[in-house]
Structure 1
Amino acid sequence: MADRPSTPLLDTVHTPADLRALPRTELRQVADELRAEVIDAVSVTGGHLGSALGVIELTVALHAVFDTPHDRIIWDVGHQAYPHKILTGRRERIRTLRQKNGLSGFTRRAESEYDPFGAGHSSTSISAGLGMAVASELQGVPRNVVAVIGDGAMSAGMAYEAMNNAGAMDARLIVILNDNDMSIAPPTGALSAYLARLVSGPVYRGTREAAKNFVSKLPPFLHEPARRTEEFARSFFTGGTLFEELGFYYVGPIDGHNLDHLLPILDNVREAAEGPILIHIVTKKGKGYAPAEDADDKYHGVSKFNVVTGAQAKAVSNAPSYTNVFAESLIQEANDDPRIVAINAAMPSGTGLDKFGEVHPTRVFDVGIAEQHAVTFAAGLASEGMKPFCAIYSTFLQRAYDQVVHDVAIQHLPVRFAIDRAGFVGADGPTHAGNYDSAYLGVIPGMVHMAAADEAELRHMVATAAAYDNGPIAFRYPRGEGLGVDMPARGQVLPIGKGRIVRQGATIAILSYGTRLGEVLAAADKLAALGLNPTIADARFLKPLDEELVARLASTHDVLLTTEEGAIGGFGSHVATFLASNGLLDGKLRFRPLMIPDRFDEHSTQADMYAAAGLDRAGIVATALTTLGYDEAAMAAALGQIS
């Protein structure tokens, strides 16, 4: 505790009501202490730092002006909500952030009444806020609803769909556009702040309404010229024509770090009786912490770090990360094939395509947070003979499912899907878990679906995807480092739909799909110590399934287990369907699929999550013995022998 920053004023704030009880002259000190607390807390746990520091003043101002939790504040994505959590009764737990049994790294309805809507993916806040605003109106509950959305999230079409709907409904909704990167229209100092305050105030709005009433009495042919004159006069100074066209009353841009500007403007819009309002604030990611300001990309998400130096504590591994192996392998393929291009959706460094861009800058495309567009853009490229690699996290590819089916698969277009963060992702929890792509892609006709067992296999799968031109093909790989296997200098093209035997044995066969293979081999060693020598196979392909391999394993073993880093409906379900359809379950074979359980698992370490799912070596051994018929006593004796 002695090393923590001194926060005497923040120490008195346990809920937003305490904040609203303070003189507004003291809110600047609260913000300064809150910034110090966020920096110190995230240095202990890791997490999303830059975005949280960028909204310190905004968070203080929102809770000082609005009557939360009665009034609703919705934080888009949610990783900018750490200051909000501290001010809303969760400060004592803030150093459990993203830890097992600790606070979520995102907003969670189950965590606090101050989190009215959960968010891990971006661009949902305006839609959710509109729903809340309409519900409040229908129920006769007077309430302010505020949606805070970052400029990056405004690259997603869903945000504009929601704004278009809100404007057409004339709904009572406040949207705050946090402009921290795109710099749509930088503030111009005191004049900009004065104008924003002026146009948000009751005098201007009252005058504007009077003018509207006057115009309504003019001949109809003068209505449109009058409207355009008023809009032009205001946008000449303040901008915002796009948002006005969508039906929003635009205020801004204003300095999002200046409480003297934020507070009166929020006071004004709180009292406004008219429809949707958009407040455009300009902030800086990492504000107030020099290392984060100087490298906002590296401090967007951080591991534990030294507050004084900013140095992050990252574990040293001898094995390369799967993301880096993908990037380096794709660069190799692109060096020899000018038709290869790469696409990501606002995640260049997360997918490794920043490295690809350094080598092939004209052949990499960041489309923003627009996964639907990314997939159809890739389809367009493929239709003209290019070889697009669409690199998107498993959890984010869910947002483009219709495009995968309608625009890619039905047209048999050879789009290559590089699916990063497959399986459990650890601290980011259920919103980011990549558990479902095997199921949701595996049902699409003509889709090839592969999973890398290790980093060498991933290199082969990149080469295989580059060579494949007969339709869509996907390959998945997890977050983190590889297994430390020997790496080939260049990937080899794999025969489509063919797996491999890794270890030959008897009685038990374990067919692995993905990087559980390392745990499967460790489990095989433990079973061997009991006199059981299982056959281990790497499926490589979910679709097309290596039916010959599955049939051979099923007909020559008493027990067949499958393992995968995916949910029900994935690899094990495809194997079970084949076995049942071909009468291979009618004899002595006992089949058990091991998969991620049918539930949403809370954040923890990846290792703990796989252990809880029974997908670590201990769980695999236990399933094998249970399936062989070991009773409780025999199981305990066997496990004691090999522990």
Structure 2
Amino acid sequence: MNITPGPLLGKIETPTDLRKLSKEQLHEVSEELRQFIIDVVSVHGGHFAASLGVIELTVALHYVFNTPYDQLVWDVGHQAYGHKILTGRRDVFHTNRKYKGLSGFPKRDESPYDTFGVGHSSTSISAALGMAIASKYKGEADRQHIAVIGDGAMTAGMAFEALNHAGVANANVLIILNDNCMSIDPNVGALKEYLTDITTSPTYNKLRDDVWHMLGKLPIGKRFTRDMASKLEASLKGVVSSSSNLFEALKLRYFGPIDGHNIIKLVDTLQDLKDIPGPKLLHIVTTKGKGYALAEKDQTTWHAPGLFDKITGEIFKKVVETPQPPKYQDVFGHTLIELAELNKTIMGITPAMPSGSSLKFMMEQMPDRAFDVGICEQHAVTLSAGLATQGMRVFCNIYSSFFQRAYDQALHDVAIQKLPVVFCLDRAGVVGEDGPTHHGAYDIAYMRCVPNVIISAPMNEEEMRNLMYTAQLPTMQQPFVIRYPRGQGVMPEWRQPFKEIKIGTGRKIRSGKDIAILSLGHPGNFVTEACKELLADGLQPAHYDMRFVKPLDEALLHEIFSEFDKVITVEDAAITGGFGSAILEFMAQHGYKASVRILGIPDRIIEHGKPEDLHRECGYDATGIAKVAREMLKDKITVTA
């Protein structure tokens, strides 16, 4: 389906074309850009509400600043669709997040306008400050550096670390705080309350009015001189003391709050701020999903709704007549409530992903026992550790990719102290369209080397429930990792009675004599399908669901290597240092000799695409597994005419 841009947007190939327009035409450009995103995302899918909320800001930034010479850094990148469309990618935007198409996030090797690759939150200020310091060192006094960060991303400790440095770095950096009270779910914490106070306080509104009068905003905009900048600084500190303004206390010149949907005011403000040297922060207030009523009303649902009818707002769901397996995240969410009803010490923690992790169910039913701590993975882990010291059994749910950000806390605060925190790592393995910043490829490798930690992965929903049940038993007194993928499981009838799983034990799925295939986690279902293909070839594969990568089921491995000289390992994780590596280590330690092939995520960055495309590319889908088995058993295959 061809989607035609509006008459002004259709002529904009780069921001240079945008700058040829009059300021009065920018409102129409913004409306055309907003409608183009609605049209494309409704048909092709992708993130939605975040970009709609910053349309005017995006247009204003590229209109005022000389991008890409002036460095524009987006935080997270969910909101960068307008940026991509205005910077030469309009005609291929329909490939966004598709296999071999545009990335859903800014990406340095995709465009010179994407100055920094993003995907995880709260990196923009650090990156832009680094660029600004480099420009200062190189004598590029005219170069601007802009970080756009949301109030949700501002909750992370890294953002405050960067603010703390920016205030004393004397570098030319502009931080734009996009305040919409949302990340994916509603924002939480004291910072949200503080920003709300700023936007509603008469004192701050008086500050804003004083500033804009000084800038000549009422009624005619004027350019801002260094002398006026000095007066502005005095005015700011006269109206609000440094002790009452967080950003001023960090030695950042604070401006705002202003309406982030008033394109003329945004342009005038940014033009004035260009002439103010040093670190500064502009606070804008926006509405996530702006311009699409349903997205404004329900911003969580419309963060990434999938395909929908833009007229009626109907979100298209796949129609199925038979009962379907649940998503693994929902198995976690509902099972945790069942366990919490049995065990009063259970608590749940998530860093800003209550919907994505399905901890929202417990937060609704047991609000005193489940907490969203904001985009603060490090805090989430050490908070869990603190709770564990007091006898609480904490299920800390973090996406595998985000768990990387709390590695030190997992090691230092949990593992060394041998605290029984249960880490439920959602989105383990390739996650699909979000791509390399979100693939949960590395958790096995970086946790397997940590002492005291149990690492497990369920092949199906029943195993997941039983692992969760086992992890909270009083006898479990050490960290316990349960990793599971994004998306659906395989069991429509998944609510089975709880059973304890003996730590470090696997199970034989099927017997065979020609080759042993060892799987960890959900890819065991791919092996099941591969075995059907191999049986059709007259081959007899054995399949083992190992369940644990640490500790390994050594008794089962001794049995396997005593019977088989050809072995395949399968995992939805990086093969370097992963499950297959653990099997090779066992084999070497015990003097076994066998031909072993490790299937999983290869030692390279895997781009975005549907999970099935990525499994096929990496060679560990059912077809890939069967292919490798045939190669290893080529002497046994009977060739018929």
Q: Quick check: TM above 0.5?
A: yes
Structure 2 matches for 1:108-257, cutoff 5 A? 108-141=107-140, 142-181=142-181, 182=192, 183-184=195-196, 185-186=198-199, 194-198=209-213, 206-207=227-228, 209=230, 232-235=237-240, 241-257=245-261
Report which stretch shifted further, 403-412 or 502-511.
502-511
Please say if residues 200 and 269 of structure 1, whose CA atoms lie closer than 8 Å, have aligned partners that are also in contact: no
Please say if residues 415 and 471 of structure 1, whose CA atoms lie closer than 8 Å, have aligned partners that are also in contact: yes
CA distance in 2, matches of 1:293, 1:583: 63
Q: What is the Cα deviation at residue 198 of structure 1?
A: 4.2
CA distance in 2, matches of 1:533, 1:596: 26
In the other structure, the counterpart of 1:220 is none
CA distance in 2, matches of 1:246, 1:37: 40
Q: Deviations over 1:86-125 (max 9, x none)?
A: 1111000111110011111000001111100010000000
CA distance in 1, matches of 2:253, 2:598: 56
In the other structure, the counterpart of 1:475 is 482
Please say if residues 125 and 149 of structure 1, whose CA atoms lie closer than 8 Å, have aligned partners that are also in contact: yes
Q: What is the Cα deviation at residue 514 of structure 1?
A: 0.8
State, as a whole percentage, how many aligned pairs show the same letter: 47
CA distance in 1, matches of 2:5, 2:103: 25
Equivalent residue of 1:595, what SS? Answer: strand
2:570 to 531, 544, 563: 563
Equivalent residue of 2:175, what SS? Answer: strand
CA distance in 2, matches of 1:68, 1:6: 22
Structure 2 matches for 1:21-32, cutoff 5 A? 21-32=20-31
2:585 maps to 1:577: yes
Please say if residues 54 and 287 of structure 1, whose CA atoms lie closer than 8 Å, have aligned partners that are also in contact: yes
Query: 1:262 corresponds to which letter in structure 2?
Result: L
2:521 maps to 1:553: no
Q: What is the Cα deviation at residue 328 of structure 1?
A: 0.8
In the other structure, the counterpart of 2:219 is none
Q: Deviations over 1:259-286 (max 9, x none)?
A: 12211110011111x2100000000000
Query: 1:278 corresponds to which letter in structure 2?
Result: L
Equivalent residue of 1:260, what SS? Answer: helix
Give the direction of change, closer, same or farther, for the CA distance of 1:239–1:92 in structure 2 (3 Å limit).
farther
Structure 2 matches for 1:60-79, cutoff 5 A? 60-79=59-78
Q: What is the Cα deviation at residue 487 of structure 1?
A: 2.1
Structure 2 matches for 1:271-420, cutoff 5 A? 271-272=275-276, 274-316=277-319, 318-420=324-426
Q: Deviations over 1:129-178 (max 9, x none)?
A: 01100111111123000000000001100001011111111211000000
Query: 2:600 corresponds to which letter in structure 1?
Result: M
Report which stretch shifted further, 474-483 or 184-193.
184-193
Q: What is the Cα deviation at residue 455 of structure 1?
A: 1.3
Query: 1:197 corresponds to which letter in structure 2?
Result: W
Q: What is the Cα deviation at residue 486 of structure 1?
A: 3.9
CA distance in 1, matches of 2:462, 2:527: 17
User: Normalized against structure 2, the TM-score is what?
Assistant: 0.92
Please say if residues 376 and 408 of structure 1, whose CA atoms lie closer than 8 Å, have aligned partners that are also in contact: yes
Please say if residues 197 and 264 of structure 1, whose CA atoms lie closer than 8 Å, have aligned partners that are also in contact: no
Give the direction of change, closer, same or farther, for the CA distance of 1:200–1:46 in structure 2 (3 Å limit).
farther
CA distance in 2, matches of 1:527, 1:46: 37
CA distance in 1, matches of 2:518, 2:499: 22
Please say if residues 171 and 276 of structure 1, whose CA atoms lie closer than 8 Å, have aligned partners that are also in contact: yes
Query: 2:273 corresponds to which letter in structure 1?
Result: V
CA distance in 1, matches of 2:316, 2:351: 28
Q: What is the Cα deviation at residue 590 of structure 1?
A: 1.6
Equivalent residue of 1:280, what SS? Answer: strand
CA distance in 1, matches of 2:387, 2:294: 39
Give the direction of change, closer, same or farther, for the CA distance of 1:512–1:196 in structure 2 (3 Å limit).
farther
In the other structure, the counterpart of 1:626 is 631
Equivalent residue of 1:475, what SS? Answer: strand
Equivalent residue of 1:285, what SS? Answer: coil
Q: What is the Cα deviation at residue 356 of structure 1?
A: 1.3
Query: 1:10 corresponds to which letter in structure 2?
Result: L
Report which stretch shifted further, 6-15 or 506-515.
6-15
Q: What is the Cα deviation at residue 447 of structure 1?
A: 0.3
Which ranges in structure 1 are unaligned for 5 or more consecutive residues?
A: 213-226
2:37 maps to 1:16: no
CA distance in 2, matches of 1:240, 1:389: 37
Equivalent residue of 2:598, what SS? Answer: strand
In the other structure, the counterpart of 1:440 is 446
Equivalent residue of 2:110, what SS? Answer: coil
In the other structure, the counterpart of 1:266 is 270
Please say if residues 133 and 145 of structure 1, whose CA atoms lie closer than 8 Å, have aligned partners that are also in contact: yes
CA distance in 1, matches of 2:12, 2:232: 44
Give the direction of change, closer, same or farther, for the CA distance of 1:293–1:211 in structure 2 (3 Å limit).
closer
Equivalent residue of 2:577, what SS? Answer: coil
Q: What is the Cα deviation at residue 628 of structure 1?
A: 2.6
CA distance in 1, matches of 2:139, 2:520: 54
Give the direction of change, closer, same or farther, for the CA distance of 1:83–1:556 in structure 2 (3 Å limit).
same
CA distance in 1, matches of 2:497, 2:150: 41
Give the direction of change, closer, same or farther, for the CA distance of 1:620–1:308 in structure 2 (3 Å limit).
same
Query: 2:199 corresponds to which letter in structure 1?
Result: P
Q: What is the Cα deviation at residue 209 of structure 1?
A: 2.9
2:87 maps to 1:88: yes
Equivalent residue of 2:405, what SS? Answer: helix
Q: Deviations over 1:349-371 (max 9, x none)?
A: 00001111121111111111000
In the other structure, the counterpart of 1:100 is 99
In the other structure, the counterpart of 1:464 is 470
CA distance in 1, matches of 2:244, 2:67: 28
Please say if residues 197 and 261 of structure 1, whose CA atoms lie closer than 8 Å, have aligned partners that are also in contact: no
Give the direction of change, closer, same or farther, for the CA distance of 1:210–1:249 in structure 2 (3 Å limit).
closer
Query: 1:304 corresponds to which letter in structure 2?
Result: L
In the other structure, the counterpart of 1:511 is 518
Q: What is the Cα deviation at residue 595 of structure 1?
A: 1.5
Give the direction of change, closer, same or farther, for the CA distance of 1:271–1:618 in structure 2 (3 Å limit).
same
CA distance in 2, matches of 1:199, 1:456: 66
Query: 1:436 corresponds to which letter in structure 2?
Result: Y
Equivalent residue of 1:525, what SS? Answer: helix
In the other structure, the counterpart of 1:217 is none
CA distance in 2, matches of 1:323, 1:81: 27
CA distance in 2, matches of 1:196, 1:284: 23
Please say if residues 207 and 239 of structure 2, whose CA atoms lie closer than 8 Å, have aligned partners that are also in contact: no
Give the direction of change, closer, same or farther, for the CA distance of 1:575–1:191 in structure 2 (3 Å limit).
same
Report which stretch shifted further, 304-313 or 246-255.
304-313
Q: How many residues align?
A: 614
Give the direction of change, closer, same or farther, for the CA distance of 1:8–1:446 in structure 2 (3 Å limit).
same
Give the direction of change, closer, same or farther, for the CA distance of 1:122–1:581 in structure 2 (3 Å limit).
same
In the other structure, the counterpart of 1:221 is none
CA distance in 1, matches of 2:534, 2:409: 45
User: Normalized against structure 1, the TM-score is what?
Assistant: 0.92
Please say if residues 170 and 247 of structure 1, whose CA atoms lie closer than 8 Å, have aligned partners that are also in contact: no
Query: 1:267 corresponds to which letter in structure 2?
Result: Q
> RMSD between aligned alpha carbons?
2.2
Equivalent residue of 1:414, what SS? Answer: coil
Give the direction of change, closer, same or farther, for the CA distance of 1:199–1:442 in structure 2 (3 Å limit).
farther
